[in-house]
Amino acid sequence: MDTLLQLLLISLGTITFVAILRRSTRHAPYSPILPTVKISDPAIAQRLLFDHADAFSNRPTRAFPLDFSGGRYHGISTTPYGPVWRTLRRGLTADILHPTRLSLQEPLQREAVEGLVASLTLGEVVVRHSIRGALYMLMARLCFGDGVDARDVRAMERAQMVFLTTYAEVMAIEGSRLPRILHLRRYLRFDAAFNRLSKIVGTLIVARLHQVSCCDRGGGDGGILPYVDSLLDIQVPDDERVDARRMLTVTEMAPLVWEFIVAGAESVASSVEWALAHLVDQPEVQKKLHREINGAEGLVVREEQLRSMPYLRAVVLECLRMHPPVPFQNREVGAEGAALGGATVPAMASMTTTRFTLMASDIGRNSKAWTEPDEFRPERFLAGGEGEGVGPVPGPKEIKMIPFGAGRRYCPGAGMGMVLIGCVLCALVREFEWAPSGQSAGVDLTELDMFFKVMKKPLRARITPRRR
């Protein structure tokens, strides 16, 4: 009887202990094992990223709480700073993102926004899903060429949504190794979501390679060389043989292609949704923007066109300042570099690698750089405003905002990103008047920082067609 009681007490004690641990780790903030320094001051960010660029150009090679690939396969964003990174980045910027090639995307952009406008039913809309869908299709066509099947793209978009949801679940408990054991099921869901996504992307790459092997290369939409085709030309240093180079494998191409699609589709979709939310919230800004758009010819599909519409450009920049789609940007710095630049670092930083997290939202809302930084005021980017001359990517002299990062690892898709946000916003404001939903009081501008900064509650608005 005594033994039974003891067993019962031990079981009860264990259950209570595990329950308390589970509870206490459930909402632990993400705190990687490395010492971490948060940078919110634009002047310190400028010193780190430009004055000490050699030390501050490496990103963590582990973007996710699970290392899916044993550290071997990466997108450009997680490739260590060095020759492989340089080769991959040069490939992307020399081909599909080169300013002279961006104009080739014009027909695809037109098709994407026309499809988006046609997909919106009048009255109450929740616009996030339609915007994402249009952008996923556009990015997929840029990767796989015109043969890509809409059903495959939708499957990829759905798998990506599941991946982001499971990512948020895992990030909520990341912090030490203990939660992994206690919340194993979350990690397994996350792992399964990644595997599914990789399988879909891998299958599309193989299909494209098959097409390339039997037909001409570069036969994509309007003469665009699809990203997958351009990856065939890339030769990375071969780890196994000194001074030798080799082609990428399909497994290595998958994270590059996935990164390309997600970076474009998710960041642009989030920015457009934020912009529309502010336009619904501030009808006078929307009126002013509509006047400019209405007086201009056609859609914005090139950077020069965006420059010739200063108010549209100002709305886009103001949105990116307040709600940078990538809210944190990390750098990993060796023991010898951590003290450079004047940031306050923990004592152990002189003995180990330190993670520096650049807080893009704090930097864009710094009250020394911007007056009333929490106010949405596009006028600040017009001539005579405090943001006159501030562009999407800062130069080495001064940092005021970093929506596309800064320094050597800044976003290579910044030009394309700006044009795409301008293009989609221009079409949606030209075609529709955007008003608050009848079902909610005002616009809820609460942010949610997942992998991307999104509106916590998707924008719900009432749209009516504009009279022409």
Binding-site positions read 411
Alpha carbons 440 and 434: distance in angstroms, whole number: 14
Q: For the chain, what is the total number of helices (H) and then of strands (E)? A: 16, 10
- With contacts defined by CB under 6 A, name the span among 205-213, 238-246, 256-264, 302-310 that binds ligand HEM: 256-264
| Number of residues lying near ligand HEM (CB under 6 A) | 27
Q: How far is the CB of 77 from ligand HEM (least distance, A)?
A: 4
Given a contact cutoff of 8 angstroms between Cβ atoms, the answer to whether 81 and 89 are in contact is: no
Q: How far is the CB of 16 from ligand HEM (least distance, A)?
A: 44
Rule CB under 6 A: say whether 451 interacts with ligand HEM. Answer: no
Rule CB under 6 A: say whether 259 interacts with ligand HEM. Answer: yes
Alpha carbons 191 and 73: distance in angstroms, whole number: 15
Task: Please give the full DSSP string across 317-356, using - where no structure is assigned.
Answer: HHHHHHS-SS-EEEEEE-TTTTTGGG----GGGGTS-EEE
- Point out the annotated binding site for heme: 411
Q: Which is nearer to ligand HEM, 193 or 263 (CB)?
A: 263
Instruction: Specify the amino acid at residue 287.
Output: K
The secondary structure of 63-112, three-state, reads CCCCCCCCCCCCCHHHCCCCHHHHHHHHHHHHCCCCHHHHHHHHHHHHHH
Rule CB under 6 A: say whether 405 interacts with ligand HEM. Answer: yes
- With contacts defined by CB under 6 A, name the span among 23-31, 260-268, 279-287, 288-296 that binds ligand HEM: 260-268
Phi-psi region of 375 (alpha: psi -120 to 50; beta: other; left: phi over 0): beta
Strand partners, 126: 460
Q: 15: Cβ–Cβ under 8 A, 6 or more apart, which residues?
A: none
Residue numbers 64-103 binding ligand HEM by CB under 6 A: 76-77, 89
Rule CB under 6 A: say whether 416 interacts with ligand HEM. Answer: yes
Rule CB under 6 A: say whether 359 interacts with ligand HEM. Answer: no
- With contacts defined by CB under 6 A, name the span among 265-273, 364-372, 379-387, 456-464 that binds ligand HEM: 265-273
Rule CB under 6 A: say whether 422 interacts with ligand HEM. Answer: no
Residue numbers 322-341 binding ligand HEM by CB under 6 A: 325-326, 329
Candidates 268, 314, 349, 427; binder of ligand HEM (CB under 6 A) is 268
Rule CB under 6 A: say whether 226 interacts with ligand HEM. Answer: no
Alpha carbons 320 and 445: distance in angstroms, whole number: 14
- The contact set with ligand HEM (CB under 6 A) reads 59, 76-77, 89, 259-260, 263-264, 267-268, 271, 325-326, 329, 403-407, 409-413, 416-417, 421
